[in-house]
């Protein structure tokens, strides 16, 4: 029996053919597949604009730059997330603050967020980074109304949730990352996520100004768009004028301008081709994940040792992760490993990471997140997990508790 990981990519012959085709073409990077991927992704998520980038962390970094995170700016997020959510703020010199999680959904507790904001001077915080943890969509309609009261921006970390949605107060489906409530949203295409491109990421937004900034920042802050050039044509050409009539001068073909300090955070064309191909199966993948989750739910629902994930009625969960809460967590984790089943823990609370100690957080200060961490375990969930494999996982877990 092959080892069973907690998550893995699904690569088909169609994916391989799409990549090979690009490898044989003229463009390995900065070619036509990028815009094609962006357009297809924006269509899937239901947003106006999408910007493909090198990875999810780069996406977060660019979002912070585009929205204007500056040294000293304070940003709020959940302690139960991957460190990239918080690191990206620090890259810009900003500071991170945490709000404890809701014990049911494991997402940032919006009641506690409101309390924290009400008890702080207006202007203390600049923005919020909500995380659709495990694939559970944040109620961004409510978060937006809170954010508006305090003039905060929202960058949604939707890495876990492409295809997930919540039903808003008007009965409309609001897909994660669709830009209706958040200013910006980000996704990752790491192989354990829903869509795999090796490394890769995407930013989505409905805001045209932010979109334009992101395009610049993704590629060194360089533009080749003559309509945006700031230097005069004379400066661009030098003193060797093309025609004596300065009205007829145009910028030379080689000319570009660096107008901001950006980065090389581009995705390659063969990755974009893989992304386009993967995207065509994304919806089916989320359905598969839900089917697998349901089978786990049914197996464990009456088991006193195991708490299954909560899913509210107005939620379509994207199930990047299937997180259970258990007693004797380390024992179960080790026992499953001995049986070639590799579970994982998501996440070690960020405020307990040694690097983040400088912020002054101590154990006990975010008790719900810490207690969650002591008992959480992510079981294998991915579209190619077979029925036989899943039954083996379930039986091995049940065996552990009766042994």
Ligand X SMILES: *Cc1c(COP(=O)(O)O)cnc(C)c1O
Give alpha helix (H) positions in 150-281: 208-218, 233-237, 269-279
Q: Is the dihedral of CA 133, 137, 139, 140 positive or negative?
A: positive
CA–CA gap between residue 212 and residue 225 (Å, rounded) = 11
Q: Which is nearer to ligand X, 160 or 289 (CB)?
A: 160
Smallest separation, CB 84 to ligand X (Å): 4
Smallest separation, CB 85 to ligand X (Å): 5
Smallest separation, CB 119 to ligand X (Å): 27
Q: Which residues contribute to the site for ligand X (CB under 6 A)?
A: 55-57, 81-82, 84-85, 131, 157, 159-160, 188, 190, 201
Q: How many residues are present in the chain?
A: 403
Smallest separation, CB 192 to ligand X (Å): 8
Q: Which is nearer to ligand X, 201 or 275 (CB)?
A: 201
Q: Which is nearer to ligand X, 57 or 223 (CB)?
A: 57
Report whether 93 contacts 143 (CB < 8 A): no
Residues linked to residue 53 through DSSP beta bridges, in sequence order: 201
Q: Calculate helix-pair angle for 56-67, 208-218, nearest 10 degrees.
A: 120
Smallest separation, CB 296 to ligand X (Å): 20
CA–CA gap between residue 235 and residue 61 (Å, rounded) = 33
Q: What is the CA radius of gyration of the chain?
A: 23
Q: Which is nearer to ligand X, 81 or 204 (CB)?
A: 81
Q: Which is nearer to ligand X, 150 or 270 (CB)?
A: 270
Smallest separation, CB 378 to ligand X (Å): 11
Which residue number places its CB atom closest to ligand X?
56
Smallest separation, CB 167 to ligand X (Å): 23
Q: Which is nearer to ligand X, 52 or 393 (CB)?
A: 52
Smallest separation, CB 252 to ligand X (Å): 38
Report whether 346 contacts 376 (CB < 8 A): yes
Report whether 48 contacts 72 (CB < 8 A): no
Q: Which is nearer to ligand X, 156 or 370 (CB)?
A: 156
Q: Which is nearer to ligand X, 201 or 285 (CB)?
A: 201
Q: Which is nearer to ligand X, 162 or 262 (CB)?
A: 162
Q: Which is nearer to ligand X, 223 or 378 (CB)?
A: 378
What is the full DSSP assignment across 236-247? Answer: HH-S--SSS-GG
Burial class (CB in 10 A: 0-12, 13-18, 19+), 240: exposed
Smallest separation, CB 332 to ligand X (Å): 23
SS3 assignment for 56-118? HHHHHHHHHHHHCCCCCCEEEECCCCCHHHHHHHHHCCCEEEECCECCCCCCECHHHHHHHHH
- The set of residues, in sequence order, having a beta carbon less than 8 Å from that of 171 and lying 6+ positions away, is none
Smallest separation, CB 83 to ligand X (Å): 8
- The set of residues, in sequence order, having a beta carbon less than 8 Å from that of 400 and lying 6+ positions away, is 328, 331, 332, 335, 336
């Amino acid at each position: 029996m092959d080892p069973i990981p907690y998550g893995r990519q699904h690569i088909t012959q169609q994916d391989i053919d799409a990549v090979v085709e690009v490898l044989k073409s003229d463009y390995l990077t900065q070619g036509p597949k990028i815009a094609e991927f962006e357009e297809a992704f924006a269509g899937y998520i239901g947003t106006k604009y999408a910007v493909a980038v090198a990875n999810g962390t780069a996406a977060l970094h660019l979002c912070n730059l585009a929205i204007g995170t500056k040294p000293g700016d304070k940003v709020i997020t959940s302690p139960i997330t991957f460190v990239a959510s918080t690191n990206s703020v620090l890259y810009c010199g900003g500071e991170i603050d945490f709000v404890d999680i809701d014990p049911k959904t494991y997402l940032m507790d919006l009641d506690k967020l409101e309390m924290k904001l009400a008890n702080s001077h207006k202007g203390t915080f600049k923005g919020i980074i909500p995380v659709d943890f495990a694939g559970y969509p944040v109620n961004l309609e409510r978060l937006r109304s809170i954010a508006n009261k305090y003039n905060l921006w929202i960058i949604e970390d939707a890495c876990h949730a492409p295809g997930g949605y919540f039903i808003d107060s008007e009965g409309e489906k609001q897909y994660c990352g669709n830009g209706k409530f958040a200013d910006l949203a980000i996704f990752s295409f790491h192989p354990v996520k829903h869509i795999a491109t090796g490394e890769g990421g995407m930013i989505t937004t409905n805001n045209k100004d932010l979109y334009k900034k992101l395009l610049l920042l993704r590629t060194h802050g360089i533009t080749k768009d003559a309509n945006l050039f700031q230097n005069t044509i004379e400066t661009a050409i030098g003193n060797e004028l093309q025609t004596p009539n300065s009205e007829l001068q145009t910028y030379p073909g080689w000319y570009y301008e660096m107008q901001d300090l950006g980065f090389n955070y581009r995705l390659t064309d063969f990755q974009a081709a893989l992304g386009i191909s993967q995207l065509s199966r994304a919806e089916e993948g989320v359905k598969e994940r839900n089917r697998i989750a349901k089978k786990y739910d049914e197996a464990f629902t009456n088991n006193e040792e195991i708490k299954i994930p909560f899913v509210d009625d107005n939620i379509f969960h994207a199930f990047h992760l299937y997180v259970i809460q258990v007693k004797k967590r380390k024992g179960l984790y080790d026992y499953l490993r001995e049986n070639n089943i590799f579970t994982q823990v998501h996440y070690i609370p960020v405020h307990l990471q040694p690097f983040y100690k400088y912020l002054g957080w101590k154990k006990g200060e975010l008790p719900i997140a810490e207690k969650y961490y002591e008992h959480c375990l992510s079981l294998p969930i991915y579209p190619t997990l077979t029925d036989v494999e899943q039954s083996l996982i379930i039986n091995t877990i049940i065996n552990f508790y009766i042994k």
